[in-house]
Amino acid sequence: MGRFDRLKERAKELQGQFVEWRRHFHQYPEVGLELPETEKFVAERLKEMGLEVRTGVAGHGVVAVLKGSKPGPTMAIRADMDALNLKEETGLPFASKIEGRMHACGHDAHTAIALGAAKLLSEIASELAGNVKFIFQPAEEGPGGAKPMIEDGALENPKVDAIIGLHTGCLWDYEKTGEVFVSYGPMMACMDRIDVTIKGKGAHGATPHKSVDSISVASHAISAVQTVISREVNPLEPVVVTIGKIQGGTAYNIISQEVSFEGTVRALKQDIRELLDERIGGIIKGVASGMRAEVDYIYTYGYPPLSNDPEFTKRFVKVATEILGKDMVKEIPEPSMGGEDMAYFLNEVPGTFFFLAGCKEVDGQIHPHHNPKFDVDENVLWEGALLLSATVIDFLSN
């Protein structure tokens, strides 16, 4: 008999409860940092399991501790709880009851899975040597809840020695629901932002020599910024600079005095991130100066790159393979240039963040994350809870 067989059977027995929790969260989505009802529901379930629960962490975050019967290390499980400002179009019988809000990224499943892990582990607390900390986080979709939770002591008392989290859905291509994808290092990119305002001199469109054309300056600057990627970053390093918004001008025959544009910057390494800040700013300022314009340039550091601890990931892969079989555990083909603020936790504590494959068809097709028809395959719920619980047991037993 395998060491996790009993746990696996119990996870399957509790699948109906996990589905019920997930559907509750799906029907009552809350966004950003304001998650009072979700916080209350999660805290009540954890208290019913006998955990020590702290609410109001960095607003509406929840931190709960399960103490084993013997002293030992502390491992954390992290789940994000927030939804999106999006009108649901799935037609599901448990669709969102809050107009204009929807769980379209799987966080309802993540929360249910983490609650499931708490249920499984609470039933065998007498067999554990150490502690398990459960971190339920708001605002992963923005403005970010991980950093304020860390600042509010989420990783202390007791001090966390390792951490694990997951994302479900269809971030990477997969063949079977329930496949596990891992990375032994960089997995997701930073989420930085640039805000630029070009200030020139307005004039009539028929007298360009009397102007400093801010639209022309902005056009040259936007084009020139891409040379940072093509000429200043190693071509083997994934980097993205995307200008997503530009605004300026008042009429077709007036040369605009001012233009603003905004963009996102993605990279997998901190040193490259810092290089991009320096060089993007330098190029934009240089172009503006050369064309007699002024510029306001702001680079905002968002979520950092997410990178897994290689040794802990190896340990997780061993557990996942033992439970699911070698064919169900795979390495991601390439990192994602999307961002995740689980990165803040992994910058503080060794651990891993893995992908649990599972999207469900709506209207005959799979819809991506942040789509109004996105849905999660609920068959991943028991498996996710099992993987988290088994990894905790393995870590505490060693």
Mean pLDDT of the region 240-268: 98
Look at the alpha carbons of 8, 13, 15, 21 in this order and tell me if their dihedral is positive or negative. negative
Strand partners for 193: 264, 300
Q: Is the pLDDT of residue 360 over 90?
A: yes
Per residue in 15-66, pLDDT tens?
Answer: 999 999 999 999 999 999 999 999 999 999 999 999 999 999 999 999 999 9
Residues in the chain: 398
Given a contact cutoff of 8 angstroms between Cβ atoms, the answer to whether 161 and 398 are in contact is no
Per residue in 112-134, pLDDT tens?
Answer: 999 999 999 999 999 999 999 99
Q: Which of 82, 179, 277, 340 is catalytic?
A: 82
Mean pLDDT of the region 194-214: 98
What integer pLDDT is reported at residue 25 of this predicted model?
Answer: 98
Q: Identify the CA nearest to 269 among candidates 233, 316, 226, 317.
A: 233
Which residues contact residue 321 at a Cβ distance below 8 angstroms, ignoring those fewer than 6 apart?
A: 328, 329
What integer pLDDT is reported at residue 374 of this predicted model?
Answer: 98
Secondary structure (3-state) at 15: helix
For residue 259, name the pLDDT band (cuts at 50, 70, 90): very high
Mean pLDDT of the region 163-178: 96
Q: Is the pLDDT of residue 1 over 90?
A: no
What integer pLDDT is reported at residue 356 of this predicted model?
Answer: 98
Reply yes or no on whether 140 is catalytic. Answer: yes
Mean pLDDT of the region 265-276: 97
Q: Is the pLDDT of residue 296 over 80?
A: yes
For residue 2, name the pLDDT band (cuts at 50, 70, 90): confident
Given a contact cutoff of 8 angstroms between Cβ atoms, the answer to whether 78 and 135 are in contact is yes
Share of the chain above pLDDT 90, in %: 99
Per residue in 309-354, pLDDT tens?
Answer: 999 999 999 999 999 999 999 999 999 999 999 999 999 999 999 9
Query: CA separation (Å) from 244 to 141, 144, 261, 265, 345?
Result: 18, 21, 8, 11, 29
Q: Which of 39, 80, 88, 140 is catalytic?
A: 140
CA distance 64 to 42: 10
What integer pLDDT is reported at residue 61 of this predicted model?
Answer: 98
H runs (alpha helix) in the chain:
5-13, 15-27, 36-48, 107-122, 146-151, 214-225, 227-232, 270-290, 310-324, 342-348, 380-396
CA distance 257 to 323: 64
Orientation of helix 15-27 relative to helix 107-122, angle to 10°? 140
What integer pLDDT is reported at residue 398 of this predicted model?
Answer: 83
CA distance 255 to 203: 5
Across all residues in the chain, what is the average pLDDT?
Answer: 97
Per residue in 364-375, pLDDT tens?
Answer: 999 999 999 999
CA distance 342 to 183: 14
Q: Is the pLDDT of residue 363 over 80?
A: yes
